Amino acid sequence: MKLKVFLLYAMLCFIWGTTWAVLKISLSEGTPPIYGAGIRFLIAGIIVFIMLFIKKESIPKARSQWELILQFSIFNFTISYALNYWGAQFVYSSVASLIWAVFPMVVAIFAHYMLPEEKLTSFKWIGILIGTFGAALIVGRLDELGSGNLPIGAAALFLAVFSATLPNIRMKQNVGLVSVLQLNSVGLTIAGILLLTISWIIEPGQAMVWSATNIAALTYLIIFGTVFTWVVYIWLFEHLTMNQIAYIAFFPPMIATALGWIFLGEHLTFFALIGGVLIVSGAVMVNLNGKRSATQT
């Protein structure tokens, strides 16, 4: 991995690890979940549009470009983040990040069938089973890992993982079809409008609390948690394999767990810690190069 790619990769992992705690703070400060996701993406999309115009890039015109952007915008930005924000109300920020650590395993399964060069070996299938067992341990002790409607919150987060998987595979299949700025400017703006529309329908009377803390949290989520992370993330598709990209999900749980413990008073149970270790271990096994399958070249 080249130094530039490695440094951006490391920064991306760190920032995404911090966003879980910041998101939890924002929700606790009185942010309606769907509205919070919508305003975050709409402002971020406008910022990336400005970057697009400064770089003198054109708006996507081809039907294939719009199909790819819409698929990513609807499933990854809109549905996945709506579920993320809603589910994060009920579970610890560290648990939410641990649930997202199953993302590499889900991606690996989809990639096995959709990307011929990224087949799973027996060793990697074992890793998936280990990670699945870890997730089961966490889900089995949810009553100690948050407050409110924990099972539904956790289910929403798992659904968010699956919603984000297919558009990521499709993005890898179509590297170069749209630029980083084209995807993020159009995709984030559309998602912001859709999320705010959904919020207007299902969150009537839930006003945003514009406290200093909430404004600071929202600003961080927009600038660092969205504009920087998604521009870098999409850029990495041109430089890494799908499994390497999915590997990004391993490190944020460690950062989120530390921040949740220090700043939010979140204490994981023994079984949750073991489950987290198994999830991360299984995901690492899935993404180790290891012995290639016979179908790989």
Give the pLDDT of residue 295: 31
Token pair, residue 139, equals 């889900």
Query: How many CA atoms does the CB half-sphere of 266 hold within 13 Å?
Result: 28
Q: What is the mean pLDDT of each run of 10 residues along the chain (297 residues)?
A: 87 93 95 97 98 96 96 97 94 84 84 84 87 76 61 90 94 93 98 98 93 97 97 92 75 83 82 81 70 34
Give the pLDDT of residue 55: 95
Amino acid at residue number 287: N
Question: Cβ contacts of residue 231 below 8 Å, gap of 6+?
Answer: 48, 51, 180, 181, 184
Query: What are the angstrom distances between the C-alpha of 190 and each of 45, 47, 75, 76, 173?
Result: 8, 13, 12, 12, 22
Give the pLDDT of residue 94: 80
Do 28 and 182 touch, CB atoms closer than 8 A?
no
Give the pLDDT of residue 289: 58
Give the pLDDT of residue 81: 97
91: helix, coil or strand?
strand
